[in-house]
Amino acid sequence: MTIHKTRMLIIGSGPAGLSAAIYAARAGMEPIVVQGLQPGGQLTITTDVENYPGFRDVIQGPWLMQEMQAQAEHVGTRMMWDTITSVDLKSGPPFVAKGDSGDEYHGDTLCIATGAQAKWLGVEGEQAFSGKGVSACATCDGFFYRGKKVVVIGGGNTAVEEALYLTNHSDDVTLIHRRDSLRAEKILQDRLHKSDKISVLWNKTVEEFCGEDGKGLTHLRLKDTETGEESRFDTEGAFVAIGHAPATELFAGQLPLDPSGYIEVAPGTPKTEIPGVFACGDVMDHTYRQAVTAAGTGCMAALDAERFLGTLEVARDEMAGADA
């Protein structure tokens, strides 16, 4: 077992973790990034990215993340091929995290950037057509379906917001929900029902995403939850919006989480309840969930961590002085 010590330990290698690393490394904090099971994060499972600033032409998500990692390493970040399996936030600093490899990581500050994952239906065709007609992010991918007939699956705030957003690109949006009422807030429901571009299909579940290789998604196989009757629904774009799951199991009981499981931070900052522990990116943000916002809060976490280290080092110097 090896103990890796750093002034800033970063868990997660998506845009939030890598941006935190770039700032921390440039501030001389010699950060360690533990990459987890998805090095580069969620953008590595998408193709075209058109809304990350700095690139006039469409770029590829995996390429963007490789570049971010290369930049982080170039300025002095140590990348670790490991997954954190437990953390001790109560007795730090240093905060101790244990890796799947058996190694331990000790950070004078800790940056949690473990992200969130969209929930999927888990039905046939969903994975096969992911990125080829099936998406979990209308803000990210809606533009690629402009002028096309699209559907959104779900009945919560996210689904209704995604449907409303998609009307910017399409005049033919259908919300498909498994019950006969929405759980979305009334104000959103009112906007949905007012839109002449959105129809709702009630009491339907998606049983299969269907299409052809090379052509992408062409239609859905639906089932009526009341009659059991099956039907075909033609569409070229399906947005699954049944919620997100933040990766916060490791921190439950040690940090306050909101009712949806996201880490709670002081408003407008990445500061958690524990001084020296910061959370950035999708793991603390159920509203925006974009690469650029994740990168922004990663930057904020590194800047706040640097300030925290300043106070920690002053306190340590004072204690050393008192002991002498």
Which one of 103-111, 157-165, 271-279, 288-296 is the stretch in contact with ligand FAD (CB under 6 A)? Answer: 288-296
From the list ligand NAP, ligand FAD, none, partner contacted by residue 175 (C-beta under 5 to 8 A by kind): none
| Minimum distance of ligand FAD from residue 9's CB (angstroms) | 10
CA distance 34 to 97: 10
Residues 71-130 that bind ligand NAP (CB under 6 A): 121
* Alpha carbon distance 323, 229 (integer Å): 79
Residue 89 · residue 251 · CB < 8 Å: yes
- Nearest-angstrom CA–CA distance, 199 and 163: 10
Residue type, 205: T
Q: Which stretch binds ligand NAP (CB under 6 A): 42-50, 61-69, 215-223, 240-248?
A: 240-248
Binding at 115: pick from ligand NAP, ligand FAD, none (beta carbon under 5-8 Å per type): ligand FAD
Secondary-structure breakdown of the chain: helix, strand, coil percentages, each rounded to the nearest 5:
30, 30, 40
Q: How far is the CB of 226 from ligand FAD (least distance, A)?
A: 32
The DSSP 8-state label assigned to residue 76 in this structure reads T
CB of 36 to ligand FAD, least distance (A): 2
Which of ligand NAP, ligand FAD, none lies near 281, with the C-beta cut-off 5 to 8 A by kind?
ligand FAD
For the bound state, the minimum distance from the C-beta of residue 217 to ligand NAP, rounded and expressed in Å, comes to: 17
Q: What part of residues 101-160 is at the interface with ligand FAD (CB under 6 A)?
A: 113-116, 118, 136-137, 140
> Rounded to an integer, what distance in angstroms lies between the CA atom of residue 3 and that of residue 96?
10
Query: Looking at 8-16, 189-197, 223-231, 314-322, which segment touches ligand FAD (CB under 6 A)?
Result: 8-16
What is the rounded CA–CA span in Å between residue 147 and residue 145?
Answer: 6
* 17 contact, one of ligand FAD, ligand NAP, none, CB 5-8 Å limit per kind: ligand FAD
Neighbours of 323 (CB within 10 A): 6
Kindly state whether residue 260 participates in binding ligand NAP, applying the rule CB under 6 A: yes
**Which one of ligand FAD, ligand NAP, none interacts with residue 243, CB within 5 to 8 A by kind?**
ligand NAP
Phi, psi of 318 (to 5 degrees): -65, -40
Where does this chain touch ligand FAD (CB under 6 A) — which range of 102-110, 170-178, 281-289, 306-314? 281-289
User: Rounded CA gap, 129 and 211, in Å?
Assistant: 8
Which two tokens mark 84? 């954190």
CA pseudo-torsion sign 57, 61, 62, 67 = positive
Residues catalogued as catalytic: 137, 140-141
Between 83 and 205, name the residue whose CB sits nearer to ligand NAP.
Answer: 205
Helix residue ranges per DSSP H, the chain = 15-26, 61-74, 138-141, 157-166, 186-194, 291-323
The footprint of ligand FAD on this chain (CB under 6 A) covers a number of residues equal to 41
Choose the stretch contacting ligand FAD; rule: CB under 6 A; options: 147-155, 170-178, 262-270, 291-299.
291-299
CB of residue 286 vs ligand NAP: minimum separation in angstroms?
A: 5
CB of 222 to ligand FAD, least distance (A): 23
Site residues for ligand NAP, 140-169, by CB under 6 A, read: 154-159, 161
Q: Figure out which of the listed residues 8, 22, 32, 34 binds ligand FAD, where binding follows CB under 6 A.
A: 34
133 vs 155, beta carbon nearer ligand NAP:
155
Q: Which string of DSSP letters, residue by residue, matches 189-258?
A: HHHHHH-TTEEEE-SEEEEEEEEETTTEEEEEEEEETTT--EEEEE-SEEEE-S-EEES-GGGBTTB-B-
In which order are the strands placed within the sheet that holds 134-135?
134-135, 237-240, 149-153, 172-176, 198-201
